[in-house]
Each structure stands twice: as structure tokens, then as C-alpha cells.
């Protein structure tokens, strides 16, 4: 973490110089005033400039990535994390683990917990929310395909038996996949029931 000391006729001038020297923005600059400007005799003799100590705030996504790397290492797993940015989210792709199943967990619960904590670290104190998603070995896409196939099978069963069917508890993202898969399927509709970790989907026959 590099600190620089900058002087200026005013504090604002010193801040502007610090931003230029550190090649950053006002939002990413952290500084403390070392001395206020003082006017000397006749406004010239003995005058003292303003002095500040400044540094660039660490990038919140980089902090989150470091947190994730450390946490995974403490779990006994050594992985590489590849970062991909888009407008909607930031993807951390984990690879190289000897036991990826341990990081994914039952129905992806461990991966979801890691993702939740990583997002907390990233967005702590930030005004604009930045969404981070974790994936291991294309688990997300494989899970999506599994849920879509499950949803269609359950829908066929509901239409055949004309009875509602309850699915296992899922997180919000997985419930959304089921809702989206069945929203255009005739004679069935989906409803979310329960709360917290027990929130689940019921596929209902519409007749």
C-alpha cells in the first residue's frame, strides 16, 4: 500500500496533485491532512502550503478475490481463480482443485455460501452493488440443465396425474430457473412456498 505526501496552495490543490500522481479518481483516493495552508506576512513571507498524505483505496473486487483465495486455502483446497467482468456480474471461475466436490457441496450449498461471503466482502461500504458469481468446472451450467430437465419431468407428471408436486428446497437462483422453464408450459403453474432455507416450488395443475 503506497502512500505519497503532496503539497499545494490549498488542500484541494494538493488533492488534485495526488490524484494525478497516483493516476486514480477522487472516489478511490484516501487522504489525511498533515498541515493546513498558512498565510505569511503580507500573504507571502513565511507562508506554508497545505500537505496531505494520500493513497489509492484497494479495489473491492480484488479484496473479495483475495478473501476467497484465502478461505479456499484454509479449507485445504488450492485453486486458481480466473476473473471475468461483464455488465451484469463479475465471474470468479475456480479451477485446479483436487476435490471440487468439497467446494461445491450438496446441491451447491458450499459454493453458494462462499459466493454469499465473497459478495459481502466486495460490497462492504460500497455505494454501488457489484454482483460476484462463483463457478467451478461449469457446475452452474450443468446444474441449470439438470433443473430444467427436472422441471419438465415434474410438469409432465403433474399434467398426467392432475395433482400438484412439491420440489426440494432451492435457493433463489435455482427457483428462478424452474419458474422460467415452466412459465410457457400449458396446464401447469409454479408457486414458491415456505421461507428461508426451506423455500421451495410447488408445481400446480391448472386444468
pLDDT for 141 beyond 60: yes
pLDDT for 182 beyond 90: yes
Q: Which of 17, 21, 22 is nearest to 58 (CA)?
A: 22
Distance CA 64, CA 47 (A): 45
Residue 44 confidence (pLDDT): 56
Under CATH, which number does the domain 60-137 receive? 3.30.300.20
Question: Quick one: average pLDDT of 98-103?
Answer: 85
Torsion angle in degrees (nearest 10) through CA of 80, 98, 103, 63 = -20
Under CATH, which number does the domain 142-205 receive? 3.30.1370.50
Cα–Cα–Cα angle for 152, 156, 160, rounded to 5 degrees = 170
Question: Quick one: average pLDDT of 19-42?
Answer: 85
This prediction's pTM: 0.69
> Where are the CATH 3.30.1370.50 domain residues in the chain?
142-205
Cα–Cα–Cα angle for 94, 100, 106, rounded to 5 degrees = 115
pLDDT band at 27 (very low <50, low <70, confident <90, very high): confident
Residue 43 confidence (pLDDT): 58
Q: Are strands 29-35 and 50-56 parallel, antiparallel or unpaired?
A: antiparallel
Is 178 strand, coil or helix? helix
Residue 121 confidence (pLDDT): 94
- DSSP symbols for 102-145: HHH-GGGHHHHHHHHHHHHHHHTT-SS---EEEEETTHHHHHHH
> Where are the CATH 3.30.300.20 domain residues in the chain?
60-137
Beta partners for 38?
Answer: 48
> Where are the CATH 3.30.30.80 domain residues in the chain?
4-56
Name residues whose C-beta falls within 8 Å of residue 11's C-beta, 6 or more positions apart in sequence: 33, 36, 37, 50, 52
For the stretch 115-137, pLDDT in tens is: 999 999 999 877 788 899 999 98
CATH architecture group of domain 4-56: 2-Layer Sandwich (3.30)
Is 55 exposed, middle or buried, given 0-12, 13-18 or 19+ CB atoms closer than 10 A?
middle
Residue 175 confidence (pLDDT): 94
Q: Output the average pLDDT for the chain.
A: 90
Distance CA 178, CA 181 (A): 5
For the stretch 39-95, pLDDT in tens is: 765 555 557 899 999 998 888 899 999 999 999 999 998 889 999 998 889 999 999
pLDDT for 197 beyond 90: no
111: phi then psi, degrees, rounded to nearest 5: -60, -40
The CB density around residue 64, as the number of other CB atoms within 10 Å, is 23
Name residues whose C-beta falls within 8 Å of residue 177's C-beta, 6 or more positions apart in sequence: 144, 147, 148, 151
Residue 42 confidence (pLDDT): 59
Amino acid at each position: 500500500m503506497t502512500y505519497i505526501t503532496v503539497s499545494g496552495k490549498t488542500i484541494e490543490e494538493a488533492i488534485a496533485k495526488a490524484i494525478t500522481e497516483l493516476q486514480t479518481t477522487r472516489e478511490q483516493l484516501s487522504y489525511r491532512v498533515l498541515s493546513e495552508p498558512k498565510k505569511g506576512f503580507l500573504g507571502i513571507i513565511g507562508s506554508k502550503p497545505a500537505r496531505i498524505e494520500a493513497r489509492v483505496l484497494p479495489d473491492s473486487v480484488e479484496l473479495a478475490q483475495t478473501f476467497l483465495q484465502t478461505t479456499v486455502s484454509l479449507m485445504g483446497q488450492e485453486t486458481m481463480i480466473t476473473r471475468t467482468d461483464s455488465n451484469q456480474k463479475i465471474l470468479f471461475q475456480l479451477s485446479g482443485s483436487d476435490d471440487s466436490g468439497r467446494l461445491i457441496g450438496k446441491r451447491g450449498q458450499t459454493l453458494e455460501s462462499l459466493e454469499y461471503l465473497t459478495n459481502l466482502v466486495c460490497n462492504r461500504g460500497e455505494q454501488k452493488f457489484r454482483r460476484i458469481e462463483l463457478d467451478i468446472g461449469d457446475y452452474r451450467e450443468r446444474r441449470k440443465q439438470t433443473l430444467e430437465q427436472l422441471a419438465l419431468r415434474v410438469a409432465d407428471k403433474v399434467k398426467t396425474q392432475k395433482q400438484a408436486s412439491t420440489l426440494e428446497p432451492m435457493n433463489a437462483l435455482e427457483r428462478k430457473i424452474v419458474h422460467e422453464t415452466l412459465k410457457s408450459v400449458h396446464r401447469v403453474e409454479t408457486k414458491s412456498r415456505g421461507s428461508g432455507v426451506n423455500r421451495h416450488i410447488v408445481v400446480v395443475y391448472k386444468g
